[in-house]
Amino acid sequence: MRGLAAIVFGILAFSWPGLTLATLALLWGAYAIVDGAFALVYGVRGSGGTRRWTYAIVGVLGVLAGLIALFWPGETALILVMIIGAWALAVGIFEIIYAFQYREANAHPWLIGLSGLLSAVIGFFILMYPGAGALSLIWLIGTYAIFYGVLMICAAIQLRRFRQRAAAERSA
């Protein structure tokens, strides 16, 4: 679901490049809340393993960042840019940590690690160049969201295959 939400957000960012920054803040805020809620649920209720705390933290950060964007959409572009950059950097770091922690237990740690690296690089770039034009930022965020979404969907498919193989081996 996180992957699909990211792709939809990315497509919307490309479809409406003339969005005002306040509208982008509202759209991104809604996305961050949905993404954060899914990550939080996975981190708190996910089955197996005790190292899902990284997803719980990512979820809380996503929900908080999304709420800030929704409640203060008219604030300066720089604040929104910094929120998005910090969020993407934090998500990336925690997903890389998760990928290393579960590298032996999952069939897809490289996909999670790659999506984390993508998030961290984009977050770092946004934080380093907060004065970038709004249209450039919309395209950058849209591209990031689509690639991130595709990587998350690929990881989910790999995880489903891994679980099906494990279930087949248990029943055999």
The phi and psi torsions of 91 (rounded to 5 degrees) equal -60, -45
Residue 70, token pair as written in the block: 């929704």
Q: What is the biggest distance separating any 2 CA atoms in the chain, rounded to whole angstroms?
A: 60
Residue scoring higher pLDDT (152 or 72): 152
Instruction: Round to whole Å and give the CA distance between 114 and 147.
Output: 10
pLDDT of residue 150: 93
Specify the amino acid at residue 59: G
What gap in Å lies between CA 107 and CA 160, rounded to an integer?
9
pTM over 0.95: no
pLDDT tens digit string along 54-89?
888 989 999 998 998 888 876 655 677 788 889 889
Would the pLDDT of 137 be above 70? Answer: yes
Nearest to 88 by CA among 157, 35, 161, 153: 35
List the domain boundaries for the chain. 2-171
Q: Which CATH class is domain 2-171?
A: mainly alpha
69 vs 34: CA distance, rounded Å: 13
Mean pLDDT, range 125-131, rounded to an integer: 81
